[in-house]
Amino acid sequence: MGIAKTKDLRCTTKILVPLDGSTTAEVVLPYACALATAFSAPVHLLQVMDLETLIPSAAAQQGRSHNVLTTEREHNGQYLKELTASFSDPAAVSFSVRVGRPAEVIIEVAGANHDTLIAMATHGRSGIRRWLLGSVAEKVLHGASTDVLLIRATEQSARTRAAQLERVLVPLDGSELAEKTLPCAVELAKKMNLELIVLRVYLMPGVAYPAGSCAPDWKLLEQEKREIAIEYLEGKIRQLRSEGFERVSFRVLEGSAAEKIIDLARENPETLIAMSTHGASGAGRRVFGSITERVIRHSETAVLVARAKSADSTS
């Protein structure tokens, strides 16, 4: 079976970068800049003025909400304008300030062009205000119809101010839906001169057998599972190399999929994890709450969440 084809980053016509005015949210900018340069894609910087935070300010000024909104909009516009200078081609960077609920506005703006890649920071479980995963970022992940690139914002990453990527890690579970991340990852690796690693994680069943019963040969069973995984990944690598992409290797690991993905990325910090929102465990439904969500919540590296469609999808 060949590698499934789907919309990938070659079709990305715009990169949407939501910001909240904080330096931690700005950790996404070097990644957006690198992607924009690699793919010659224009960038749109977006800041959303949340009325829930502005109303108290207006009340403090005796209800002069118009003045508060005008001042805040001008301030945010100037902030975004200054950030355009961080890109190699500032002329290809636009910006806007909107009023509304942040997640809803981000989804709406991205949805106007289905080839838009949303690139945003997330603070994971660290509890940093406003962009906490479980709030804005999680709502965007659940509601957006486009691909989402998440950069974990930490104090260290905020100081680094550089996109440090050397490889793309693509976990595969044997399903066509999971494989639909591959074209995107390959193009990303080619454009940014990155190594591509395909990963298969298998889990041995934890079954207890009554005393005196005939238990399976676990060592033989594990060997068979590993050989099947290796054969599968070797087939993918052969196809990729036949298509002219040489910087590719594979890893086969036993254990919990999310944990192994996170551990492997942690061993190689300059890794981008590219995953589909679906896999063999959940075709036709979102995997949030499962492997993808656990990786997003706990990974210390960037994660690209690709919107895989089922084969019969017309959307």
Query: How many CB atoms are closer than 10 A to CB 302?
Result: 25
Among 21-25, 124-128, 207-211, 287-291, top mean pLDDT goes to 21-25
* CATH architecture label of 9-160: 3-Layer(aba) Sandwich (3.40)
Higher pLDDT, 238 or 64: 238
Of the candidates 133, 132, 96, the one whose C-alpha atom is nearest the C-alpha of residue 16 is: 96
Return the minimum-mean-pLDDT range out of 84-88, 123-127, 132-136, 143-147. 123-127
pLDDT attached to residue 161:
59
| Residue spans per domain, the chain | 9-160, 167-306
- Average pLDDT in the 29-58 region? 85
Q: Give the pTM.
A: 0.83
Of the candidates 306, 308, 300, 293, the one whose C-alpha atom is nearest the C-alpha of residue 257 is: 293
Give yes or no for residue 156 having a pLDDT over 80.
no
pLDDT attached to residue 9:
54
Task: Write the pLDDT tens digit of every residue in 245-270.
Answer: 999 999 999 999 999 999 999 998 89
CATH of 167-306, one of 3.40.50.720, 3.30.210.10, 1.10.490.20, 3.40.50.620: 3.40.50.620
Task: Please give the Cα distance from 66 to 158 (Å, whole number).
Answer: 34
* Alpha helices (H) in the chain, listed in sequence order: 29-39, 51-60, 65-83, 102-111, 136-143, 155-160, 176-179, 182-192, 218-242, 257-267, 291-298
pLDDT attached to residue 312:
40
Give yes or no for residue 107 having a pLDDT over 70.
yes
HSE-CB of 97 using CA atoms within 13 angstroms: 18
